[in-house]
Structure 1
Amino acid sequence: MIKKQILFLCTGNSARSQLAEAIFNHMAGERFHADSAGVHPSEIDPRVFEVLKAHSISDEELRSKDYSEVANNHYDFVITLCDNAKDECVIFKDDVNQLHWNLFDPKPLEGIEPFERTGTELIERISLFLLLNSEDHTEHVDPSSFFKLLSDPLRLKILMLLEDEQDLTVTELKNALNESQPKVSRHLALLRDTTFLKDTRHGLWIHYRLSPSLPMWIKHLLQTIRLGNPGIINAEKSRLKTAQQKTK
């Protein structure tokens, strides 16, 4: 397996990026490898090692590096951790995915607590990064096309219903949405043709579900919309349940 390469870039490579390198490599398994570097490197703050020890994370390979030392390496992702590093004149190729996590600098503050907070924030961000970027084979979806589809209230509710119910027929969706079958079918066809839905025939009925090949970022976003708006399809779910009970 070819590992994807990550570079964490900061000003001093003495605190945030060192924590990020060690925590990422501890969490990432076999799919990724992380390095870190600084545009103006300085000595690693000893509190970095205290935080890593508290989390049973190895610090064996950590050392402060100048960006020039790794500038010729290929990286799939470059993640800057401070505004100074982001604004330095470092130009990356178009195939390098660039992210910016503007973490506060714990070094000027006293004690271990600021470093622990930075470590906790990195664990949360890295967990989400790994969740959303660990898939090898998924459909490529243009985000602008996806959000254009979500902008229609009826399509959004179709996706929310399928997120909840997993599998529904056109008739069940028509009943839940209180819309005509041609209108519902038209929106379902659009979602299916843009690969967001998968349809299968069971006897006389065609069943719809979210495509299993959707990228994880879309699955996660749909789950977040649903959890953050628990009442968004209350009326639709009530109508669906009523209609299902009548057919029993």
Structure 2
Amino acid sequence: MKRILFLCTGNSARSQLAEALMRHMCRDSAVTIGQFEIMSAGMAPESVDPRVYEVLNYHNINADNLTSTLASSLQDQHFDVVITLCDKANKECALFPDSDALIHWDFKDPKPLSDSQGFYDVFDGLKAKIALFLMLHGDNQSDTIGAVELFKIMSDPLRLRILMLIHDERALSVGDLTKALQASQPKVSRHLALLRDSGVLHDQREGVCIFYHFPADLPQWIQHTLDTVRNGQPALINQEKIRLSAIKNRKKPQSIN
């Protein structure tokens, strides 16, 4: 089980919303249920702002047992992830030097505002951040490669286009990739071998053809990165897709979904 700590200055608004919301979202997800222990704390704790309860009650989220906790009282405990929610707390994250990850989500303090709208806005922003966090960290996925290695792989234009083509087609043979990319077979094969050895692609033989595809347990953060590139740069492989569609009697794998 991973231990998550939301850290803020007063532990009276943003971090309380984050703690209650993430617990609620974890309970609602079959993927993340039981995988996280979630807490919050503050550098100078204050009482929980009544508008926190208003927002949580509006969204039917359990607001029981919310209490302000002094961050220094937790510094001897290990947290897998510490998420700071204001700039001041971000400067104090050295309290938890053994944490596996320190993340900063900067949200404007809603307490100085006279009404509750700022609290609703913080809630909506936190919901989007937490949903992405849980999507990327919620399930037990294989350790393929790290971010540095992935971006090195994607920095090569030919490898990037290979990944984008397989993203669209689900699986492609060496021959089809060679025709679509207008590159030599040895060159394409070298890049495919690198992608396979890194764990980003798997290969599978069917008859005389070898097809390359993404593994079923590809980590969500890698899948999300590929999805973002494909949708953010939709014209990247236009010509390659046109050439691919022009291949007559193109063989497709039977056992790769």
Instruction: For 1:130, give the aligned amino acid.
Output: L
Superposed CA offset, 1:130-184 (max 9, x none): 0001122312412111111101111000000011100100011111111111111
Superposed CA offset, 1:199-231 (max 9, x none): 010011100001223221010000111111111
Are 2:51 and 1:47 aligned? yes
Distance in 2 of aligned mates of 1:74 and 1:89: 13
Instruction: For 2:14, give the aligned amino acid.
Output: R
How far the C-alpha of 1:88 sits from its partner, in A, is: 2.3
Distance in 1 of aligned mates of 2:93 and 2:239: 54
Do the aligned partners of 1:139 and 1:213 also contact (CA within 8 Å) in 2?
A: no
The answer for unaligned runs of 5 or more in structure 2 is 27-32, 252-257
TM-score by length of 1: 0.94
Match of 2:232 among 228, 233, 238: 228
Superposed CA offset, 1:35-82 (max 9, x none): 100000111111111100111000102011111332233211110100
How far the C-alpha of 1:92 sits from its partner, in A, is: 2.2
When residues 135 and 185 of structure 1 are mapped into structure 2, their CA distance, relative to the original with a 3 A threshold, is same
Indicate the residue corresponding to 1:109 in structure 2. Answer: 113
Distance in 2 of aligned mates of 1:136 and 1:22: 23
Seq. identity, %: 49
TM-score by length of 2: 0.91
When residues 172 and 58 of structure 1 are mapped into structure 2, their CA distance, relative to the original with a 3 A threshold, is same
Indicate the residue corresponding to 1:21 in structure 2. Answer: 19
Aligned residues: CA RMSD:
1.6
Indicate the residue corresponding to 1:156 in structure 2. Answer: 160
Matched residue count? 246
Distance in 2 of aligned mates of 1:18 and 1:139: 32
Are 2:14 and 1:10 aligned? no
Indicate the residue corresponding to 1:32 in structure 2. Answer: 36
Distance in 1 of aligned mates of 2:115 and 2:142: 45
Instruction: For 2:25, give the aligned amino acid.
Output: M
How far the C-alpha of 1:186 sits from its partner, in A, is: 1.1
